[in-house]
Amino acid sequence: MTTLVVVGQGYVGLPLAEAASSRGIAVYGLDLNESTVQQLNGGYSHIDDLANDDVSRMLTQGYKATSDYSVVREADFVTICVPTPLGSDGGPDLGPVISSAKSIAEHLQSGTTVILESTTYPGTTEEVLVPLLEESGLIHGLDFHVAFSPERVNPGFPEYGIRNTPKLVGGVTSEGTQSAVRFYSEFVETVVPLKGAKEAEMAKLLENTYRHVNIALVNEMARFSHEMDIDIWEVIRGAATKPFGFQKFSPGPGVGGHCIPIDPNYLSHHVKKTLGYPFRFVELAQEINNNMPAYVVQRTVELLNGKRKSLNGSSVLLLGVTYKPNIADQRESPAVPVAEQLVKAGADVCFYDPYVETWNIPSGPLMRVSSLRSAVKSADLVLLLQAHEDFDFDGLLEDSKLFFDTRGVAGVRAATL
């Protein structure tokens, strides 16, 4: 039986562990957060995409959560699925990857294949991970193999998961590629080998840079379309009818999540550091997308002025504060800078989100309203930041004095971007 150790049991690592255990692979879910380990071993999930029943089923299939790196000694494969947040220099903070690699090296056995899934800049697997693992005394390419396989988890998107999303694999050596391909083929329908680890690392960054740039395009078009009295949502609806040469992207109050607002910066930072010139598309896209929260606040001021009200002292109800619809994930949510700017401008801000009970922004916690309908009726302006399916938009529009829809879902009676 194949034994797998998945380092990191968050939004990436836990679904990977679930998919592998469902195919008869013995899985250790390794996480340094003792509370997470206890929760998982008790059959409780802490992420949106897996229910408690899923975790309970994993336990019956042999899954075990642990914080003890010694389980690496039993592993045929080790996958590293730890966060790579944006560092102070604009590149990825590789601290979690480096720490994991050093701990793995202390227990690494001959014959093991180590696969990095955490998003990073091209060259990390070969230039950072391999030397750290060789501190074990084992020789890469002879005693163990290393590959990179970018995570493609899309939280809250049930149509595609680990099993039916094609898996890219690039080894530092051809043997590393082959080993990783054989492993993922046990539980992933389509595995796509690439030339090497750098190509796999770059492919992940291309995917997210593509989305980042195209979101910036429609965000900028939304701004000048408003000035030209053009309905951007109708424009997008029309363009999206073309069956080729166009992919639909929608504007919004900004971009959120761990990938889109962060990953392209890894590439931009690496290009500038390595080659000495900027990746201008990414820098421009970042500027546009980062300015969207301020634009939303500016539009809020204009809408209130149209009702002879000042933002200072007005009550603003925020609807939806997560970065994606229908999940509780708040990572890098653009709702945070929107709320922060509204508070600093003197607005009386509260929120409602069916997935979020408590919400803190840099200036402090915001009140979650207990009665949505009453709050909508009393608010000077209702600001929709995330379009959860739970919301009754017809009812919200009916009850609100002024409704600002940043997601283009509420209909013609609402003010939009």
Query: Catalytic amino acids?
Result: 259
DSSP 8-state secondary structure symbol assigned to residue 134: G
Instruction: Classify residue 54 as exposed, middle or buried by CB count within 10 Å of its CB (0-12, 13-18, 19+).
Output: middle
CB atoms under 10 Å from CB of 233, counted, come to 18
Alpha-carbon Rg for the chain in angstroms: 23
φ/ψ of 50, rounded to 5, equals: -125, 135
CA distance 20 to 26: 8
User: Angle formed by the axes of helices 280-290 and 292-306, to 10°?
Assistant: 30
- What is 303-368 written as a DSSP string? HHHHTT--STT-EEEEE--SSSTTS---TT-THHHHHHHHHHTT-EEEEE-TT-S-EEETTEEEEE
φ/ψ of 271, rounded to 5, equals: -60, -45
Instruction: Classify residue 338 as exposed, middle or buried by CB count within 10 Å of its CB (0-12, 13-18, 19+).
Output: buried
